[in-house]
Structure 1
């Protein structure tokens, strides 16, 4: 055990020792080891190291089979690191290219962020606030959605991709007012989308059979938990070249959307987690972590199924963005809205000859834009990736949770009336569970990653109005 760890964090040192973990710290970097597993963690000094999250990360790093114990090449975690259900949030694990771990990303496949410009100032939007809030409350909170999709368009999406879907979908409902050519152009700003495979056979049969018009009940919905649609004000430009390219100007409003693949992600994710469990060799003791890997043809099958759900997650965020554009154009005529970037943080991606499992972590190749939100009361950032190989070409997906939802339910929350941001929701518990104090401060998260060479901050945005379903 590292002497400095024992002297500075005696309780943590004892807990790690009981768990068979050795830990060394140099600056913001922790190096963690356990039998047949090792990982590194980037964590600001003021953030606590959570034993449960460390154990989950090393479980993830040590996944394998009785006859092939070490298919993991590298494991690391970013400053938003905290425990998840099986794999920790804020982790990236690289496996051999014929290996995947379905439980690493779970059921919210291709959960991600989508940032839009509006081209209008906060003052302009504030003057019409009651009207656009009423329109979006109907869509985002009451679920008055209208996003019909013919089965043929779903088949096109799952078999051929996003561009084929936009060519195939009928001009009905939300699609009647959507600018198809703009949506086609915006595909270039969707990180990783073109690499996802897919096949209609992985989707619910009712969605892809025949010629009927399908109403997927959760298409164009935000989802629960930490998902949101948030109106933000550009507060500071830190890299004027990126800000100019993104179309972001100080004082103007942008909209950040955080959602995923909804029911289809659960349909795909649970099925393949079950399949991985069932494939464990008979007669061998199952891993205590409940993390199971797939290899060979099964791994390729998972990636195809995952890509199917990932394409649906893209579509879900597109529909949410179109609800926003619909409301703005009906009130302030904001027809100049454009996509800044759409980026995933919960997928397996084939990169650099490896399968990179990002669980609550964002791709950050050199020059690639990423989105890191703080909380309803803290800033969000548009950043530019620096492509650091030691951190698997990744960065955090936000600030990271600091307090469990169950704890916050038992505590009084701050008086939101004293702030300039507001949460719009029909469920009061969202204000408790997602209160700003539930999250780590975003400042140290950004600073640590800049110092370590993972990213460069480009634009800071502050929250204004947040929709939580």
Structure 2
């Protein structure tokens, strides 16, 4: 549904047929259905999708027969589009004793990691065949080598990231890892220290009975929109921020987008089912199929979610080490460092509420955030401005414009990409599904959030080589 002036009456009528009232002022849509309301930041050229609005209002109306209104605020950022249950690009704030497991789904702590390489594009281009082959083996063919002592897994889930690094053995990927650097980089991981955890929520084989574990999906990218991408610093927008991040025009960085893999599915689906099973047996189930947990059950979910979130952090750490390994082996690049690691698909306790971010990123004042475009569009490092109306958040990227199934049916030709970038994938289907045409343009997404006071752009990054499984 287009939001242009000429189509505005049709849009209002179409939503009214669904029982949804819509108004718009200064690019902010306000939607209401019954007692549920939400607001959505959307550039004028982007459509307001009815399915996504209905999903957002479903979440805004989650509750119980004896407590119908635990949701305090629901909003969405410009990458807003429908998801399987929750719309992507949404933030939902509930009372502090309430959680909605389906609001973040099963890809718990899917997130973005940005690391510098300290190397200019020209040097890497001269040795591209070697490091491409190296990364292809690691990222696409699954030649992983990330052994973890059971004691280290127990330490990670019980005590956190620092305890994990201290318990590692110098073998596999960890043999060449700089332990001092790994410890220092923990402090640059947004919200990581807020996640709880417990070994009880992990697979038994990882934490008991074995001296060493090789989790089959540790250090893997995953499917869909996940990627490892080498990018070039294209433009400095805020020179002070760029200096603080250690980014210079012409240098290559690595952006990593991945999550908790099988661990997240194991935890997420279990708790989505548990929330449904807790619904009063003598009451009709909600038509939306969405359920919340409260009290001790909510606390237990947050502990389980935190366990999966810590594993997602570890997965991105290993992926970053594969990049470092490849570039050091081929061009001697050894000065890489983490700029930031930021989560989405998590619940965090902030400002006396539980904030559920589904495809949305924390953006507190002065905090780094990452906004990737499509693999043919720019990405941005931005500084959060901490806007309370948008629940201290910003978008986690550009957002899909076309569903994957529709892209495959239309047979979009992804072979005509500009010669400055290239996607390396084992399956042609992946290149079709993730073609730039399937995503919204990143420019209006950033501009709308700057204008609304959610963030300030710092550095523009140009895609160069994208690895997709």
TM-score by length of 1: 0.98
Look up the match of 1:289: 288
- 1:74-117: per-residue Cα shift (whole Å, max 9, x none)? 01000000000001000000000000000000100000000000
- 1:18-47: per-residue Cα shift (whole Å, max 9, x none)? 111000000210000011200000000000
Look up the match of 1:360: 359
Q: Distance in 1 between matches of 2:35 and 2:25?
A: 22
Which aligned pairs between 1:126-137 and structure 2 lie closer than 5 A?
126-137=125-136
Shift of 1:288: 1.2
Q: Does 1:455 align with 2:449?
A: no
Give the secondary-structure state (helix, strand or coil) at the position aligned to 1:182.
helix
Look up the match of 2:176: 177
Q: Distance in 1 between matches of 2:4 and 2:235?
A: 38
Q: Distance in 2 between matches of 1:21 and 1:119?
A: 52
Which aligned pairs between 1:306-321 and structure 2 lie closer than 5 A?
306-321=305-320
Q: Distance in 1 between matches of 2:365 and 2:5?
A: 38
- 1:360-415: per-residue Cα shift (whole Å, max 9, x none)? 00000000000000111100000000000000000000000000111111223143
Q: Distance in 1 between matches of 2:307 and 2:231?
A: 31
Look up the match of 1:167: 166
Q: Is the 8 A contact 1:6 1:13 kept in 2?
A: no
Shift of 1:8: 3.4
Which aligned pairs between 1:55-74 and structure 2 lie closer than 5 A?
55-74=54-73
Look up the match of 1:467: 467
Q: Is the 8 A contact 1:5 1:13 kept in 2?
A: no
Which aligned pairs between 1:93-108 and structure 2 lie closer than 5 A?
93-108=92-107
Look up the match of 2:374: 375
Q: Is the 8 A contact 2:414 2:432 kept in 1?
A: no
Shift of 1:7: 6.1
Q: Which runs of 5+ in 1 are unaligned?
A: none
Shift of 1:345: 1.1
Give the secondary-structure state (helix, strand or coil) at the position aligned to 1:415.
helix
Look up the match of 2:33: 34
Change (3 A) 1:418 1:96: closer
Which aligned pairs between 1:244-323 and structure 2 lie closer than 5 A?
244-323=243-322
Root mean square deviation, CA, Å? 1.1
- 1:138-184: per-residue Cα shift (whole Å, max 9, x none)? 00000000000111110000000000000001111000000011000
Look up the match of 1:119: 118
Q: Is the 8 A contact 1:382 1:459 kept in 2?
A: yes
Q: Which runs of 5+ in 2 are unaligned?
A: none
Which aligned pairs between 1:433-448 and structure 2 lie closer than 5 A?
433-448=433-448
Q: Is the 8 A contact 2:393 2:454 kept in 1?
A: yes
Q: Distance in 2 between matches of 1:251 and 1:5?
A: 39
- 1:328-362: per-residue Cα shift (whole Å, max 9, x none)? 00011110000000000110000111000000000
Look up the match of 1:47: 46
Q: Distance in 1 between matches of 2:127 and 2:287?
A: 55
Shift of 1:5: 8.9
Which aligned pairs between 1:101-250 and structure 2 lie closer than 5 A?
101-250=100-249
Q: Distance in 2 between matches of 1:369 and 1:52?
A: 31
Q: Distance in 2 between matches of 1:15 and 1:108?
A: 33
Q: Distance in 1 between matches of 2:439 and 2:117?
A: 27
Change (3 A) 1:93 1:150: same
TM-score by length of 2: 0.98
Shift of 1:10: 3.3
Q: Is the 8 A contact 2:367 2:384 kept in 1?
A: yes
Look up the match of 2:408: 409
Q: Distance in 1 between matches of 2:11 and 2:283?
A: 33
Give the secondary-structure state (helix, strand or coil) at the position aligned to 1:93.
strand
Q: Distance in 2 between matches of 1:417 and 1:395?
A: 29
Q: Distance in 1 between matches of 2:73 and 2:266?
A: 29
Q: Is the 8 A contact 2:376 2:417 kept in 1?
A: no
Q: Distance in 2 between matches of 1:190 and 1:5?
A: 40
Q: Distance in 2 between matches of 1:91 and 1:417?
A: 31
Q: Distance in 2 between matches of 1:233 and 1:52?
A: 36
Give the secondary-structure state (helix, strand or coil) at the position aligned to 2:187.
helix
Change (3 A) 1:379 1:6: closer
Q: Is the 8 A contact 2:414 2:431 kept in 1?
A: no
Shift of 1:418: 4.1
Shift of 1:417: 5.5
Look up the match of 2:422: 422
Q: Distance in 2 between matches of 1:221 and 1:118?
A: 20
